[in-house]
Chain A
Amino acid sequence: MSLGTPSARTHPDNRWAVTHAHARAVLVFALAALGAVLTQRPDILLLGAPLGMVALWSAMTRPRTVPETRLVIPASHLREGQWNRAVVGVTTTDHAELTSSSLIGGPHVELDPDRGARTHQVTAADRERGEVHLISRVRADRWGLRRIGPALVGATSPWGAFRWGPVPLEHQVIKVLPDPAVFDTAAPAPHPQGLVGQHRSRRPGDGSEFNTIRPFQWGDRLKRIHWSRSLRTNELHVTSSYADQDTHVAILVDAHYDLGRSVAKEGASSSLDYSVRAAAAVAEHFLHQGDRVSLQVLSARTPLTLPPGTGRRHSQRVLETLSLVQAQPQDQIDPRRIRRGIGPGSLVVMISALVAPAPLAQAALLSRSGLQVVVIDALVDDVQPPGEQDDIARLGWRIRLLEREAELRRVQASGVPVVPWRGPGSLDQVLRSLARHRQGAAR
């Protein structure tokens, strides 16, 4: 945002106005002087004289120029829970003495100090620099697009006699990236597709991890010759390694519903919070291992798709896409759209609260088509049912949960593992069993 935003410029308070303090000083002095003259009481004049001096001093130091101002959030995006700065810049003018600002934080935004109230005494150094910076710390408790501001900025002249503002500055929107919950798995992802990942394959191949020393075969690279063993045995030996493998991990985030409350201070998270954070964690983990990760969001409002990619920049892209997720139910899920871009051998990780049967049906379909599918259940125990908590609602919710359990059993019976999201290690067991299943099938 440039200096002097239109809203600030046209605001009626964008001028130096007389304050109650100055009007008071003039009035009290005038009354005291009048009373003293009319009643021949010099003591009354003495009572008002100091205020007369203050009024004179104030009038002589009245600022003549209106400052220009801006609100800047230096980082375009930040992670949830991470502190950032909100900077209110105000140009210095003659006789502007104290500059103040306050910020209004939107939902899920915390300010330090409280209400972003900052004051700064304008010094000679500030006047030389030409601009005063009032810095508040801001933190977003929840991922998504978060609003910081509007800010109110004002300044006063000596003796608080003239005030500029408070002038409102337009709010800024920043992207808050989900904080990936700590997730780590030592289990290899099934179906390695290429030889560029960081998993240690069960097969020997071109990689970096030592496997064994074996006799030389045609095609072995000369740099792999193990000279000491070759000299001892009079036969060429080479060191062999495990192949490094990668896989395509397709993450499907079901954002049709957002159940429960999201209040960071109380430690309460909604089902969509769990889904998004789990998706971020899974993506970050597999990208860190060198796998290709794609993302699809199932929501009527934000049907986002991110093609497969690798590396740190892709990790950032995944987080940015996840920060845009908004929940809205969808009448129909197009299975062709879900299947698009997911080749054979991909690992599909579906993250869903599973309150509607449609995502589970899609998971079963994908599994039936030969893909490895893992479903992460984001309806964690502390997620509260939606709506008002009367008896009928509670009964309805219990019935729905019973139906849901039956649906889960059915989909598990069809070979789709469903793992409740419990943070670290949630997928470990499943990935191991999938890998074992794969090996068994290969034999």
Chain B
Amino acid sequence: MNPMKDLIEDLRSLSPQQVLLRFVIMASLLGFTTVLLIAGESSMYALIVLGLLGALCVLNPHTVLPGAVLVYCLAVWWAGVPEPMVPLAAPAGVCLLLLHTACALSAAAPAQAQLPATWFGQYAVRLAWVVGATLALSLVAYAHEAWGYGGGLTAVIAALLALGLGIGVHYWVVTTKQDTPSS
């Protein structure tokens, strides 16, 4: 059994909805690259590298690869955009959200399966909610940056604690609760 052959076979027999999702994967990554090029000092090579990574994500949306690409995107942004707060961070975040969502939805169903249109509608609404919340959060971030409030070491420690607590709670919720058969 050749995994690459299977992937190509899957790609050849994609349903139209899966084609759309794969297109969104590619478009969102290219969108992020464009925002990155406008916002920072990255070279045009980023476009080629991220384009290639996008193609790999199109082939393997159900693997760890999209996660690695997202982490790479964070690193590229950190390295390529010197400003601590630029207005383009919000659209870049939205592009990453789209990339993540398209990969997740693509992996949620067989490659050949016809996906219901109402499902896409549901996700359009959900994405709108998350994007709205992201924009609101970005406004808070701008205000925070404009007031020049650093917070100091206490804020850093508090944030780290909050992060650790959040991850701990998440781990408890998703791993220790046992599944029960439906009645």
Contact = CB atoms under 8 A, between A and B. Distances in A.
B180 A64 contact: yes
B170 A50 contact: no
Contact of B84 (A41, A54, A121, A162): A41
A34 B115 contact: no
A235 B107 CA distance: 93
B114 interface: yes
Contact of B156 (A20, A37, A47, A93): A37
A121 B114 contact: no
A169 interface: no
A97 B105 CA distance: 11
A50 B97 CA distance: 6
Given A20-B67, A35-B78, A119-B114, A46 B89 contact: yes
Interface string B149-183: 01000001001100100010010011001011111
B101 A159 contact: yes
A64 B177 contact: yes
Contacts of B31: none
A114 B13 contact: yes
A98 interface: yes
Contacts of B163: 30, 33-34, 37
A49 B137 contact: yes
Contact of B110 (A42, A102, A158): A102
Interface stretch (A65-73, A224-232, A257-265, A291-299): A65-73
Contacts of B167: 26, 30
A160 B89 contact: no
B74 A48 contact: yes
B54 to A, nearest CB: 15
A408 interface: no
B27 interface: no
Nearest to B105: A160
A135 B77 CA distance: 47
B131 interface: yes
Contacts of A44: 74, 77-78
Given A41-B84, A67-B182, A21 B93 contact: no
B182 A51 contact: no
Given A20-B67, A47-B89, A160-B107, A37 B160 contact: yes
A354 B177 CA distance: 68
Contact of B112 (A20, A68, A115): A115
Given A100-B113, A121-B116, A160-B104, A42 B141 contact: yes
B41 interface: no
Interface string A145-162: 000000000001011111
Nearest to A94: B182
A51 B105 CA distance: 14
24 contacts: A9-B181, A19-B107, A20-B107, A21-B100, A23-B67, A24-B100, A28-B96, A31-B71, A43-B84, A44-B74, A46-B92, A49-B93, A50-B96, A50-B100, A51-B97, A54-B100, A66-B182, A102-B110, A113-B114, A115-B112, A119-B109, A119-B116, A156-B108, A160-B105
Interface of A: 4, 9, 15-16, 18-28, 30-35, 37-51, 53-55, 57, 59, 62-68, 91-93, 97-98, 100, 102, 113-115, 117-121, 156, 158-163
Can you list the 6 inter-chain pairs with the closest CB atoms, starting with the nearest?
A21-B104, A160-B104, A50-B97, A24-B67, A43-B89, A160-B108
